[in-house]
Structure 1
Amino acid sequence: MPGPAPDRGRDPVRTGAKVGRMTKWEYATVPLLVHATKQILDTWGEDGWELVQVVPGPNNPEQLVAYLKREKQ
């Protein structure tokens, strides 16, 4: 009876294989003004920030909050 299939190294986590440098990120939370959303996001985007998600604010659901990330330098 054959045993389990041999591990061919496809899963670096299970095999313990070393993978290239892990990307490190920094994050920002930014309140969005409804009348200036595009301008705010464009400004942050020009500085290398990527929009991850927009959610309602914790105290006021009508106030939106943007979550952004960029690679740490």
Structure 2
Amino acid sequence: MPTWEYITTPLLIHNTAAILNNWGKQGWELVQIVQNEQGGLVAYLKRPVGDASGADAAARGTAAAAQAAKQFKGE
């Protein structure tokens, strides 16, 4: 039976595909998107444990999401 690791990430309303694609390239699968108390969107993702080195992969995914946000803002 597989063991899973999970991560959550905020989503920019106009850049969701780029953010999710960046996480998908890291092996993460979207489980659910929910709205937080402030009205923003939060994505819940999972992947089997052992797909990549946990903390390093999460850091790369966070950096990829930040890069997607910069591209959206035109930076």
What is the identity, as a one-letter code, of the residue corresponding to 2:20? L
Among candidates 32, 51, 72, match of residue 30 of structure 2:
51
1:19-61 CA-partner distances (Å, limit 9, x unpaired): xxx200000011000111000000000000000000001x31x
What is the identity, as a one-letter code, of the residue corresponding to 1:66? A
Partner of 1:63: 40
- The gaps in structure 1 that reach 5 residues or longer are 1-21
Structure with greater helix percent: 2
- Deviating above 3 A after TM superposition, structure 1's stretches of 4 or more consecutive aligned residues are none
Q: What CA RMSD, in Å, does the superposition of the two structures yield over aligned residues? A: 0.7
Q: Does 1:32 align with 2:6?
A: no
Which protein shows a greater Rg?
A: 1
- The gaps in structure 2 that reach 5 residues or longer are 51-75
Aligned length: 50
| TM-score (structure 1 length as normaliser) | 0.66
Matched ranges for 1:1-20 at <5 A: none
